[in-house]
Amino acid sequence: MNRSILSLSFLLLLVTSCHQKNSINFKLVSESYISDTTQYAQCHASTIIETENGLLVSFFGGPYERHPEVSIYTAAFEHGQRQKPQKVADGKADTTSFPTWNPVLFRSANNQIDLFYKVGPSPNDWWGMVMHSSDEGKSWSSPEKLPEGILGPIRNKPIQLSSGVILSPSSTEETHELWKAHIERSTDGGQTWTIIAIPSPDSVKVIQPTLLVYSDQRIQALLRSNQNVVMESWSSDEGKTWSEVQPTTIPHPNSGIDAITLQSGSKLLVNNPLPSGNSWEAGRNKLDLYYSTDGKSWENNMHLEDEPEGEFSYPCIIQTTDGLIHITYTYNRQQIKHVVLSAVN
């Protein structure tokens, strides 16, 4: 065999080896549902966190989104057993009641669990609230209103950097046409916050960032948008400044997304991989898992849902200390679905 053929064979072997080294697949471990029609007719916008004894999920539930009786619920998974959802917060104030929205669970370095949520008639004029738990979500402090202008994490979990800085991904919907994303940054463990804009043209609607950290300390924000693709922005200074949003190649129908950095350093994104349509639920009938090692090239790795119609939306994804991947998401507004995956190299 001549030298050129040997060289080509070696190159092909090297490429194949590298591809195999970087490839990863996921298999389904379990799937289950959280529902309780005796307490609420609809539920939406779940969030999940690992606890000492298992998992804790939160979501909002009520007659329908925007109804003044919509409240915040939690559901614990302890020692392999799912507990009945518990109502933990509502929007009642004196004789007035407002709907609640978009809970977000976050464990900071002090090991306290925070439950952020929003209260108000609509995303145009809601305000941020928070409660704290020191017993893994079994009980909560009285609700506190966040400082004026601070909304808290709008849909996706904050991250805490190795320096202790907390970055809370947030956004505003000032009008139907003007959506802007920003970061709420804290250097004192969440006692005070600074608002930092993620630059975007007014014609590009972006909200609900999700944050990923890379080995070179850069931080990537992936954003829900009206551009039929997920948008991105980057920071190289611990979130003090951000680049103007740019399109990724990931198809997207203006629906909630979420992403995580795995223990390996690789990234996972959960997204509805379809273009938007004429109604708010268009494109939410498919839900996929994407994988990346660099945040630029994303591989569509797995179909979580793939139906002709339906709504499978607003995912939340975490990796627990045992290496398993947990994803919760809205299942036709009637249930929260909980999917558990394991990695297969």
What does the pLDDT profile of the chain (345 residues) look like in tens digits? 444 433 433 333 333 334 334 668 999 999 999 999 899 999 999 999 999 999 999 999 999 999 999 999 999 999 888 999 999 999 998 889 999 999 999 998 889 999 999 999 999 999 999 999 999 999 999 999 999 999 999 999 999 999 999 999 999 999 889 999 999 999 999 999 999 999 999 999 999 999 999 999 999 999 999 999 999 999 999 999 999 999 999 999 999 999 999 999 999 999 999 998 878 788 999 999 999 999 999 999 999 999 999 999 999 999 999 999 999 999 999 999 999 999 987
Among 299, 295, 331, CA closest to 315? 331
**Structure tokens belonging to residue 69:** 């009786």
What letter would DSSP give residue 272? -
Write down the number of H helices and E strands in the chain: 1, 27
Q: 236 exposed, middle or buried (CB, 10 Å; 0-12, 13-18, 19+)? A: middle
The C-alpha atoms of residue 139 and residue 133 are separated, in whole angstroms, by 6
Going from the C-alpha of 182 to that of each of 142, 171, 175, 194, 236, the distances in angstroms are 27, 5, 16, 10, 16
Half-sphere exposure of 274 (CA within 13 A, CB side): 21
Task: Name the amino acid, one letter, at 23.
Answer: S
| Rounded Cα distance, 345 and 338, in Å | 23
**pLDDT at residue 80, rounded to an integer:** 81
What pLDDT is attached to residue 94? Answer: 84
pLDDT of residue 10: 35
3-class DSSP state of 17: helix
Residue 219 structure tokens:
């931080």
Give dist(CA 319, CA 289) in Å, integer.
14
Q: Are 305 and 273 in contact (CB under 8 A)?
A: no
Taking CA atoms, 26 is separated from 87, 211, 302, 345, in Å, by 34, 22, 7, 8
Structure tokens given for 80: 């392999």
Domains of the chain: residue spans and CATH: 24-344 (2.120.10.10)
Q: Which residue, 249, 328, 259, is CA-closest to 291?
A: 259
Q: Please give the pLDDT value at position 22.
A: 60
3-state SS record for 136-162: CCCCCCCCEECCCCCCCCCCCCCEECC
| Contact between 245 and 218 (Cβ < 8 Å) | no
Where on the phi/psi map is residue 322: left (φ > 0), alpha (ψ -120 to 50), or beta? alpha
Res 77: pLDDT: 95
Residues pairing with 235 in the sheet: 219
The C-alpha atoms of residue 253 and residue 44 are separated, in whole angstroms, by: 18
- Going through 86-154 in order, the beta strands assigned E by DSSP cover 86-89, 92-93, 96-97, 100-107, 113-119, 127-133, 144-145
Question: What 3-state DSSP class applies to 204?
Answer: coil
Per DSSP, 9 falls in state: H
Query: What's 173's DSSP letter?
Result: E
Give the per-residue pLDDT at 3. Answer: 41
Look up residue 86 and give its two tokens: 């518990």
